[in-house]
Amino acid sequence: MRVVSWNVNGLLNTLKDAAHRYSSASHYFAQVLQADIVCFQEAKIQEEKLEKWMAFVHGYDSFWAFSKIKKGYSGVVTYVKEDISPLDARADWFGDEDTAEELRKEGRLMYTDHGNFVLLNVYVPNAGDRQEGRPRLSFKLNFLEALEHLCDKIVNSGKHIVVVGDFNIAHKQKDVHKRWNLEDMYSPRERAWIDRFLTKYVDLFRHFHPDLQDVFSVWDMKTSARAHNEGQRIDYALCDPEFLPQVEDVEIKKMIPKQWSDHAAIVVTLLDQPLLPRHPAPAISSRNMRQFQDDLRQKKLTTLLSGRPSKDFCTDQTCGQNKGNEPGISSISNQEQSPANPSNVVGSGNAGMKHKISREIADMHSRVTKQKSVKSYFRANNLDEQL
């Protein structure tokens, strides 16, 4: 199982460019990243402006945490292959309702339960500009304390944990370029927190590559820092010590093209995990997003009889491939087709037509009508006569 974590510094343009370069976002996830799970930080997507093709990447469920206080700010999203969809997913949840509400408003945490382990996709706040006195340092420290409390609670409950994301703290002097002093970059309280946290949870990159030097995960895009590798390592993959035997390797990968983000990606390779029993998609899954439910419930009789895919409805084979005019995917032809007749349907005569309709009914029953019966759906669309 491959888990890819990346602070993408704006998901819309990056994913759109990836879809153009690699034919589709789905192909980019599955063939280029070869990812079973993709965790993005700093997505900067407004909930009301989320596009369908981004929510429905073919073959993956998506789980979003949006900023509620500042539009187009922060935000994380976790994409998971449909056949390993998590048992549970929660956005900006720190284990209890007593956590300060302000920590739960910026879209900085996605919790997904994968049965054998819980995955946390995290984007830790930046403390702010040094010249302004790092005004968000207190907020950052409060977030880190809440994150540690959540991790401890999960592990104490008997579950394993994997944490990936941008922590906005370098741990050791060797994790920053030699021209800088770690003590000048982070406050004593930040350094004390990361020291304590990494005594309880394993820094996977350093576990597998303890002797590597000058391996960084972020560079200043305003200068030539990346070309000279003047960066720091603030992106992590962590796990509880008991889960460590199930981790095969961790890599830091500079993404191509470099203009997409100032961060590198972290790739975690796990042993194959136990298959989960069949279960409904978590409530916050993209499958259950209200803004797309009307699209999923519409299909015209002409589509039923002609066999031409509807741009507003998808089956298992087409879902995500033509939704929302995804960049890199050719749109469905707008040319008029001749009216359906029995010769266009599998089989011949009425038997063929009945066979075609019965297949479509079965598909709609599983995907469209959770609250309506198939019969009421056809009546609402004046299709009774065709049955």
pLDDT in tens, the chain (387 residues): 999 999 999 999 999 999 999 999 999 999 999 999 999 999 999 999 999 999 999 999 999 999 999 988 999 999 999 999 999 999 999 998 777 889 999 999 999 999 999 999 999 999 998 888 899 999 999 999 999 999 999 999 999 999 999 999 999 999 999 999 999 999 999 999 999 999 999 999 999 999 999 999 999 988 889 999 999 999 999 999 999 999 999 999 998 887 789 999 999 999 999 999 999 999 999 999 988 876 555 544 445 555 554 443 343 334 444 445 677 654 333 333 333 333 333 333 455 555 555 665 556 555 544 444 445 544 555 554 443
**296 and 233 part of one domain:** no
Pairing mode, strands 265-270 and 2-7: antiparallel
**252 and 307 part of one domain:** no
Q: Residue 309 has what pLDDT? A: 45
Domain of 121, CATH number, reads: 3.60.10.10
Q: Residue 90 has what pLDDT? A: 97
Residues written for the chain = 387
Q: Residue 302 has what pLDDT? A: 47
Q: Residue 355 has what pLDDT? A: 55
246 domain-assigned: yes
Q: Residue 293 has what pLDDT? A: 76
321 domain-assigned: yes
Q: CB–CB of 51/85 below 8 Å?
A: no
Q: Residue 379 has what pLDDT? A: 55
55 domain-assigned: yes
Q: Residue 294 has what pLDDT? A: 64
Q: CB–CB of 27/58 below 8 Å?
A: no
281 domain-assigned: no
Q: How far apart, in whole angstroms, are the C-alpha atoms of residue 229 and residue 174?
A: 13
**62 and 206 part of one domain:** yes
**132 and 202 part of one domain:** yes
CA 59 distance to own-chain centroid: 12
**179 and 262 part of one domain:** yes
Q: Residue 338 has what pLDDT? A: 35
**176 and 243 part of one domain:** yes
Q: How far apart, in whole angstroms, are the C-alpha atoms of residue 271 and residue 145?
A: 30
Read off φ and ψ for residue 37, nearest 5 degrees: -135, 135
Q: Report the run of H or E that residue 59 belongs to, with start and end.
A: none
**350 and 303 part of one domain:** yes
275 domain-assigned: no
**222 and 306 part of one domain:** no
**246 and 303 part of one domain:** no
User: Of 270, 305, 322, at which residue does a domain stop?
Assistant: 270
**205 and 311 part of one domain:** no
Q: Residue 382 has what pLDDT? A: 52
Q: How far apart, in whole angstroms, are the C-alpha atoms of residue 234 and residue 216?
A: 8
> Sign of the C-alpha dihedral, residues 26, 27, 32, 36?
positive
Q: CB–CB of 108/124 below 8 Å?
A: yes
Residue with tokens 């895919």: 309
Question: Per the structure, how many domains does the chain have?
Answer: 2
User: Of 270, 297, 321, at which residue does a domain stop?
Assistant: 270
Q: Residue 296 has what pLDDT? A: 52
175 domain-assigned: yes
Q: Which amino acid is at 1?
A: M
**135 and 164 part of one domain:** yes
Instruction: Residue 51: give the domain boundaries.
Output: 2-270
**153 and 48 part of one domain:** yes
